[in-house]
Amino acid sequence: MPYFDRLSARCAKVGALCVGLDPHPGVLQAWGVSDDLQGVETMALGVIDALGDHVACFKPQSAFFEIWGSRGISLLEKCISAIRDTGALTILDVKRGDIGSTMEAYARAYLSNGPLEVDAITVSPYLGFGSLTPAFQMAQAHDTGVYVLTRTSNQEGTDLQLGTTQGGHGIAQSIVDQAQEWNQSTGVNTVSLVVGGTHSDLGIDLTGFSSSLLIPGIGAQGGTISGLESSFADTPALLLPSVSREVLLAGPDPHRLHQAVDQVLTS
């Protein structure tokens, strides 16, 4: 079943929320574990175990596993497998972006059969939307998904993302439009977008976009679910808010993790 359909079914069942697995030093400290691979393992597997049947997706942040080299990636494989066992989906936050055979290699790494296969990944379009084509093709062939960074939640991104292409289109808008064209021409919502939930003015038109939107910036970065519903009132897209610190800092107690998720969902 295509990724978008699997995501929709999962959100209908447990609610539309993605929990980021960002084991940064502050989170590890809150959990009372050490800033090493053992600490990361305790925290990541603890969150998956506590929330696996309570949320639609987990979004492991690859950087925090890459710190530990091959041993960290081995733990990432373990987390992906643990998430799969719960029935939740994995959106691996890797923000990859390259050209030609290298982009194809990233697609092969994460979107087809292999030790790091996940349900979807994030990708970065600085080398042009077209350079991401091998990822879209691989995702389509394997019922996986791709989230293209479009309008990110941080302030430093605005100057570029709300700039203008050489051809005279808004940069973020041209990504929205090309993603929608891809999805329409193939008849499958393979291409999704990352759009931050922190902006009072998004600066892009999403009224024609019908796939899913991964929306970070909820919780610690200032956004709320009810705020989202008004910012994104005009789009038919599936809204998938993503929260990290706000939930993670409630651990390790599973009951408090559940409460934190419920609190975000009603924020």
Report H helices in 87-223. Answer: 100-111, 133-142, 158-161, 171-186
162 counts as binding a second copy under rule CB under 8 A: yes
> Least distance to a second copy from the beta carbon of 154, Å?
4
Nearer to a second copy by C-beta: 167 or 187?
Answer: 167
Report H helices in the chain. Answer: 3-14, 25-30, 37-51, 63-66, 69-86, 100-111, 133-142, 158-161, 171-186, 225-231, 245-248, 254-265
* Amino acid code (one letter) for 260: A
Query: Helices 37-51 and 254-265: crossing angle, nearest 10°?
Result: 60
* Amino acid code (one letter) for 151: R
* Listed ranges 81-89, 103-111, 137-145, 227-235: which one lies at the site for a second copy (CB under 8 A): 103-111
137 counts as binding a second copy under rule CB under 8 A: no
159 counts as binding a second copy under rule CB under 8 A: yes
Nearer to a second copy by C-beta: 10 or 108?
Answer: 108
152 counts as binding a second copy under rule CB under 8 A: yes
Nearest-angstrom CA–CA distance, 174 and 130: 11
* CB proximity list for 166: less than 8 A, separation 6 or greater: none
222 counts as binding a second copy under rule CB under 8 A: no
Active-site residue, 78 included = no
> Least distance to a second copy from the beta carbon of 67, Å?
5
Nearer to a second copy by C-beta: 11 or 250?
Answer: 250
Q: Which residues bind a second copy (CB under 8 A)?
A: 22, 24-26, 61, 63-64, 66-71, 73-74, 76-77, 93, 95-106, 108-110, 114-116, 124-131, 149, 152-167, 171, 174
